[in-house]
Structures are given as C-alpha cells and as structure tokens.
C-alpha cells in the first residue's frame, strides 16, 4: 500500500471554493484502479495550505492509471484555477502502524 | 480530530536503526491523553526522509500533554541521534474524507 502525499497551496481567499470543488473532484477517484481512500486536510499553521493524502495499491495506479485517465483531466479542470503553484507530490511506504494493522 | 504531520530527515545509512527505534518509541504514545493512532512512512523519492502521521483529539494533546510528558523525554532519547535536523511539525484539520466517515 502506497500513500500519496500532495502539498497544495491555493490562492488567498479561495478556501471555500477550493474545498467545495475538491469535494466534487474526490468522487472522481472512486472508480480509479487501485484506489483505496483519500483525505483532504487544511493546515492549522499555514494559511491557504492543504494536504491531500491518497492510498493506492501501487505508485503506478496513481501515476499511470489515474494521471493518464480522462477523469484526471476533469479533476484538473475543477481544481487548477485554485492552485497557487504546482502541488508537490511524494509517495510514502508504510513502515509502522499503531494500533497494528490499522 | 487533528492530524500531526512530522517530516523527519535522518542521517544516511541509519534507516534500519531508526525504524527499529521508532517501533519502540511509538509504543510510548499509547498511554498519552487524546492519542488515537500513528503511522510511520518512508519516502519513496527522497532518501532518508520519513513522515510520521499521528491523530490526536486536539493540538493541546500533542503540544502539551505529550510534549511536556516524561514519556516524551524517553521518546526523544530513543530517536534524537538519528535526526539530521529538527523535524518539522504541522497540524492539519480534516476537510473531506472518501469513503466518508473513515
């Protein structure tokens, strides 16, 4: 299982529009191959910063199956105008979990 | 619910020692007030980078109840020699979850 961590900075004053658009965009992930779940978080300390955490079976499911899909074009269309820059994306591999197995 | 996101860079060549120490350190969190769960991830793209994600009831549970505890001193003693710098810590507030409620 892979965790995608996307750090997203948006234009000032656009939080409510972005959060609404993201609510709609996230549903596009549902039918993507290898997708398990997603959570959008807003930073407490940094204004206009969000992190999107997505769990996938593999990096390929994110980088190929999702990012080369038509649904991803719709996703980008919904969200792109809110981004203050290109979101940074990293993939993480689980090492420890407490409680175990969760 | 609050997600603590700690970005941790460790000294090169110390991954296995760090991961073992973290396995021991994480158990110290179990009895901390407002603690729900923790996951340690290793970056796929950046050598010697980890992220620790911890869920708490509140920021105060992390910054006061945990960081002012004796258990936190033990935690720091177990891990500090592995850190290549001071870990950066941010708190995040959940906005959306898919599937809902998870």
**Average pLDDT, rounded, for chain A:** 96
* Cβ(A10)–Cβ(A42) below 8 Å: no
What is the C-alpha separation between A91 and A66, in angstroms, rounded?
14
Contact between chains at B23 and A96 (C-beta distance less than 8 A):
yes
B92, B100, B102, best to mutate vs chain A, most A CBs in 10 Å: B92
A92 CB neighbour count, 10 Å cutoff: 24
pTM of this structure: 0.94
B28, B29, B41, best to mutate vs chain A, most A CBs in 10 Å: B41
For chain B, 102 residues long, give each residue's pLDDT as a single digit of tens.
Answer: 899 999 999 999 999 999 999 999 999 999 999 999 999 999 999 999 999 999 999 999 999 999 999 999 999 999 999 999 999 999 999 999 998 766
Residue of B38, B41, B102 with shortest CB distance to A37: B102
Q: How is chain B split into domains, by residue range?
A: 2-93
B2-93: CATH architecture: 2-Layer Sandwich (3.30)
ipTM greater than 0.85: yes
For residue range A61-85, what is the model confidence (pLDDT) as tens digits? Answer: 999 999 999 999 999 999 999 999 9
Angle at B5 between CA A87 and CA A1, to 5 degrees: 75
């Amino acid at each position: 299982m892979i965790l995608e961590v996307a750090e997203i900075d948006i234009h000032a004053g656009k939080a409510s529009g972005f959060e609404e658009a993201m609510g709609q965009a996230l549903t596009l992930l549902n039918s993507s191959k290898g997708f398990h779940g997603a959570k959008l978080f807003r930073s407490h300390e940094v204004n206009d910063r969000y992190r999107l955490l997505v769990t996938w079976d593999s990096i390929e499911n994110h980088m190929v199956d999702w990012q080369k899909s038509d649904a991803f074009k719709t996703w980008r269309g919904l969200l792109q105008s809110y981004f203050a820059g290109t979101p940074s994306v990293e993939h993480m591999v689980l090492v420890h979990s407490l409680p175990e197995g969760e």
